[in-house]
Structure 1
């Protein structure tokens, strides 16, 4: 039998099969074009994800079609055996990971209404549930907390595995990828809070029971629960399900945007109430009122934990059954997601720390993917690396072979565009030390059916194989720090702005590689030390978490950038939401503006070394780049605003920037005891100001031209943002060798100047 595992190879995790390192390139596709599969195999692809269902969901059936001809629908196992046979005939040395759907059949859902997501009136919401290999009209979405679904799906999964283990090619199956929910990605297909229909949930017995047990683990006693919720009726047996008004903060931007759009003409609008402050009892601007409505955040935390718990349940079953098979699932979307209804955000660490899951996966976000842009990822992949696990990117990279819609929206008009973006995305995978499968969900298959792409894949396999023989320990100098616990304390758009759009717009254009972590890892001894920490959404921090962060920063006198409202919420303080909480964490005395205001600021002191790359007269504090969807074709960025707004009120701070509208300090630096604190009171700090801080902290910058840069200690990749001359500054004098052209660009160079077209990608091995 083959033996697959995640193993530390030269300083970082890698897939290893039968003792052989597997480069970070796999494929998920359909199998109706055998020659296509053969060519992918010849290009070096050896690991294939095969999508199928259990026989429970698809038992197979004979039927008569509309032309009265007899047809047969394959069972899940029949479909798997058919596809596996095609694959192994074309690529005999291929390995397979089974992407197995765990959905219940429609009949089961009709017979088990108590196991479905249930609204306050006892109803369920009919929907369409589909993946790449099934589509059903369902009476309601099954709850991931359902013990009956888990039990019955586990039986179906076990029966599937029993049959796979008896197949003549069972030794080629190296793992399972667990699929459930919408598009296999573990999200419910209808909303928990549906304001249009005035419905909210989940009141299913399965979730109520799970929610109560979740609260017991979080609070321990009813007394602590009542104190945290500030409610005498708080209980584990009947935990409060937030109604629509309780969840007002999720959609706070609607009132804010309404006020901003119509503010000047309010007198001319009949029947409209302009709410410029957007403050209700349940919220303070975009923040949940955590003093009186903490149960809303707890509810959504439990909702997401139920999904994670289901993944752990099935992964444990497989890990108990097998040694030498890897197990993964979709989970952990911090981009291109609904941070509330999708239930796959705030329990990533629960899954990773369970010990039963080898990898989690997600597609990249669908913004700015065309040449000159970047495909931002959805996870904090270096938290995976610390635990010996891997984040796997679903590289559903479009090409010029798509239909006209995708060709235009992704800006892929010819093979040159496809090659350039495929090079860029491979460089991200290799340099950021993640794994990937390339995903061809093209309706007939054939997204990569091009000789030039086959040759590219073959070369990338060679590059990756060589890269894995080198020292793979990371030496990046900048860490971006995110917070799971804060996600459900702020509005959905605030999450999207700071966790998704910001990663697309600026964070790949700093000119230096960065690592991504959850703040929880700062207390781990094995987390590397960094020169610059960027604290992205750390709004909710306990006393112990604050202490752990400061200890980390002091270890090497780091520079720390705080964004918007760091530590504003402290569950260990009597005043759970206050400015003092920010001051105690960052060292800055701050004031608050409890209304909608502009985040735009200008740099006041251009001579300060912390703003060396600042542009005079440029307005900062918001995303001013074009961020657009390649799929939904809409303007995704809303007008810039803060609610509440914060400002610096500290005579001991060096003020770097002031708000344009209010002339109050917005950006400042302050020396602390063993570290340097930098506070950007708005939500966003543009890339050149982060680059300025990186230089101030002593970090190396490869590029200062807004190009997309991916680098590690052996490779530097530049993806050109414009046509013209581009400059790379190397850490040490080197002989840069371009990996695709297979030629040196010079010897003993500290700086390289090269002419590039927009979207060109050059990948240098730096000797």
Structure 2
């Protein structure tokens, strides 16, 4: 990127899309595409189910076949089974997976929690898979939620939500952790000392709500959690006196700690906690995530230390880019980055995941990749395949085009491939979603593509040689969530909306935690997009400014960067943005108009969330170039300013950013975009990096694709399509169509 000069009135256009329509579409798409199903208590295959004769006769021959090579593409088949009837469906899907060369299987298993429970015969279940696919290798998805019998025997260790005991453990329960370790020992001894041991790749450690380590929005109000909160506070504060002072309760003893009341779901009229009087609530929000993360880490560490196979250890955690409540418990991934956890598993984002959608990641994938860890995307797309009640045959629902389903799956595959992530195709309810031969032929082609075009890992020096550096790094901060009262409305705009805007802006994007930016682990990058950096102390602000000056890069700030430093102050925002920023007196109306005429947004185009926000900020700086202003007040809402040290600051005071706005800013900064402006701007979902480029069309039409240099281009889904020595090309697409290209610059080929 060229060093940005002072911006003239020729280019910056901001358009924040209407949020209501986006949220409505996202909800409908999420319902269609499914979710990680909540496990049942009944064992998958009870010990008294018996071994079919065919399995017993063929077992020895199947076991003699070697499992898949560990170096094969990280592509998996996943299905949940709760009965032998489910197995009848899943076994057919597993056979289709084997034909497609997908030999890695994620198998949900339950543990035996009490002496009187028969438990699940995990070994028998795995042998059944081996009979279907002699090359099968397994990730065991371990449900750490205890049985109903355990909850009945330990009622004080269960969650309490809204006054009612839940069939789930409190994450603060030491009894649960102790008994869970014992149950894990039994599982590991059973499978790792058996004839299937060489087929065990590792474990996916699951627990709490939806088996995804989620906590209820209302919080756990059990006594065991109150005690856990008390103990956590004594670790966080140096003394009882320091705790009492922070909470404004002189003389308070640790034993007098109570769980602060959460005010429910405040709307945009009160976004943040008030410090210091609401410090107890901020502490509680942080504690929920850290205690949840600690429980997960305890099980992961125990498994790593007990297993004899050096297992791959994954967990569905760290989904910080989702608009979930801040009480969800998922915001301590940063504490686990140096732990025994080898990676994260997550569904495709439940926001904007349907046909034409962005299909974004749930969390900061590159914070794991840069450490040599992994991220596995769970593709639980609803395919429309279902059993005909009259014939018993599996067919696709009327009105659904198979090609549309395949294009969504191609987009999800491209999102994984471009950054070297894993991908698991899932039938989460064993309802035959994947019982379609044509679909598995598509997956077989994907496996072939992954084998031939797997990018080098971020830790490999060859990654830089492949030109894998991002044009934009999107930065999310876990700790800033602990200062919010308003969660889902704001998180939908800033986190999910900001992530999806980046994926639609037309360039290569990476996603990382703020701590990795501060520690210098990620980057360099020409542009940084800070979604929710609400909490930045003086040291952090100095570190960021020094880094931007050294790299001569640009920082794009959203809403309230650095607002908290002990207490909240608008002066902190002025300090980090380098602009004179003011706060409206009380609630103020959001919603802006763009002030210039540009190539992605017309002049006077409205954008922003037209709601009452408190706080809401505006820009009042004669040295900054104003790009947009609030419709209601005329105050500045978006501005750009070049700092004396050579870096550029862009402040978007509106709580959100759209693809059009972000694309305009990037154009002004002279950052090359794959999607140049034209008569029609499509803002397609785009994944790029490692010599790969994927486009998923938001709507039908012809769009230009600009490569920035002469390249050989090959369509990987259709080998008949390609271009030689092209700097740009025209790409006609139908709505929802996905294309994936190999892009080889001519200059690099000549070296």
Q: 1:27 aligned to 2:77?
A: yes
The SS at the match of 1:103 is coil
User: Match for 2:444 among 458, 470, 484?
Assistant: 458
Q: 1:708 aligned to 2:685?
A: yes
User: Match for 1:698 among 670, 679, 682?
Assistant: 670
Query: Structure 1 664/697 Cα, relative in aligned 2: closer, same or farther at 3 Å?
Result: same
Query: Structure 1 697/433 Cα, relative in aligned 2: closer, same or farther at 3 Å?
Result: farther
User: Match for 1:359 among 343, 354, 357?
Assistant: 343
Is the 1:339–1:488 contact (alpha carbons within 8 Å) kept by the matching residues of 2?
A: no
Is the 1:37–1:91 contact (alpha carbons within 8 Å) kept by the matching residues of 2?
A: yes
Q: 1:152 aligned to 2:179?
A: yes
RMSD: 2.6
CA offsets, 1:201-225, max 9 Å, x none? 53423x2343233223333233433
Write the distance in 1 (CA, Å) between the matches of 2:142 and 2:284: 29
Query: Structure 1 21/443 Cα, relative in aligned 2: closer, same or farther at 3 Å?
Result: closer
Is the 2:206–2:316 contact (alpha carbons within 8 Å) kept by the matching residues of 1?
A: yes
Is the 2:360–2:500 contact (alpha carbons within 8 Å) kept by the matching residues of 1?
A: no
The SS at the match of 1:737 is strand
Is the 2:323–2:492 contact (alpha carbons within 8 Å) kept by the matching residues of 1?
A: no
CA offsets, 1:275-296, max 9 Å, x none? xxx5xxxxxx211102211110
* Residue 109 (structure 1) shift: 1.9
1:197 maps to: none
Is the 2:501–2:662 contact (alpha carbons within 8 Å) kept by the matching residues of 1?
A: no
Write the distance in 2 (CA, Å) between the matches of 1:288 and 1:594: 17
Q: 1:202 aligned to 2:221?
A: yes
Write the distance in 2 (CA, Å) between the matches of 1:357 and 1:336: 21
Query: What 5-or-longer segments of structure 1 have no aligned partner?
Result: 1-16, 62-74, 128-137, 194-200, 257-277, 279-284, 623-638
1:45 maps to: 102
Query: Structure 1 621/191 Cα, relative in aligned 2: closer, same or farther at 3 Å?
Result: closer
Is the 2:321–2:364 contact (alpha carbons within 8 Å) kept by the matching residues of 1?
A: no
- Superposed counterparts of 1:479-518, under 5 Å: 479-490=473-484, 491-503=486-498, 506-518=501-513
1:603 maps to: 594
1:741 maps to: 718
* Residue 235 (structure 1) shift: 4.4
- Superposed counterparts of 1:669-680, under 5 Å: 669-672=640-643, 673-680=645-652
Report 1 or 2 for greater relative contact order, CA contacts < 8 Å, sequence distance ≥ 6.
2
CA offsets, 1:225-252, max 9 Å, x none? 3343333255444434112xxx33x522
Is the 1:478–1:694 contact (alpha carbons within 8 Å) kept by the matching residues of 2?
A: no
- Superposed counterparts of 1:337-736, under 5 Å: 338-343=324-329, 345-353=330-338, 355-401=339-385, 413-444=400-431, 446-468=432-454, 471-473=462-464, 474-490=468-484, 491-503=486-498, 506-571=501-566, 576-606=567-597, 613-622=600-609, 640-672=611-643, 673-704=645-676, 705-736=682-713
CA offsets, 1:674-715, max 9 Å, x none? 311111111112212211222333322101431111111311
Write the distance in 2 (CA, Å) between the matches of 1:32 and 1:85: 15
Q: Taking structure 2 as the reference length, what is the TM-score of the superposition?
A: 0.82
Query: Structure 1 641/728 Cα, relative in aligned 2: closer, same or farther at 3 Å?
Result: farther
Write the distance in 1 (CA, Å) between the matches of 2:426 and 2:498: 22
* Residue 615 (structure 1) shift: 2.0
Query: Structure 1 557/337 Cα, relative in aligned 2: closer, same or farther at 3 Å?
Result: closer
Write the distance in 2 (CA, Å) between the matches of 1:692 and 1:58: 64
Write the distance in 2 (CA, Å) between the matches of 1:28 and 1:539: 38
Is the 2:476–2:495 contact (alpha carbons within 8 Å) kept by the matching residues of 1?
A: no
Is the 1:364–1:378 contact (alpha carbons within 8 Å) kept by the matching residues of 2?
A: yes
CA offsets, 1:446-502, max 9 Å, x none? 212222211111111111111226654531110111111111211123443235540
Range with bigger deviation, 326-335 or 468-477: 468-477
1:758 maps to: 735
1:162 maps to: 189
Write the distance in 2 (CA, Å) between the matches of 1:733 and 1:640: 47
* Residue 651 (structure 1) shift: 2.0
Write the distance in 1 (CA, Å) between the matches of 2:254 and 2:649: 41
Q: 1:82 aligned to 2:124?
A: yes
* Residue 410 (structure 1) shift: 12
The SS at the match of 2:189 is helix
Write the distance in 2 (CA, Å) between the matches of 1:151 and 1:412: 51
User: Match for 1:173 among 180, 189, 200?
Assistant: 200
Query: What 5-or-longer segments of structure 2 have no aligned partner?
Result: 1-66, 82-86, 389-393, 457-461, 677-681, 745-751
The SS at the match of 2:695 is strand
Is the 1:240–1:295 contact (alpha carbons within 8 Å) kept by the matching residues of 2?
A: no
Query: Structure 1 410/657 Cα, relative in aligned 2: closer, same or farther at 3 Å?
Result: farther
The SS at the match of 1:685 is coil
Q: 1:103 aligned to 2:80?
A: no
Query: Structure 1 22/500 Cα, relative in aligned 2: closer, same or farther at 3 Å?
Result: farther
Write the distance in 2 (CA, Å) between the matches of 1:729 and 1:303: 46
2:62 maps to: none
The SS at the match of 2:548 is helix
* Residue 187 (structure 1) shift: 2.4
Query: Structure 1 372/118 Cα, relative in aligned 2: closer, same or farther at 3 Å?
Result: closer
Q: 1:184 aligned to 2:161?
A: no
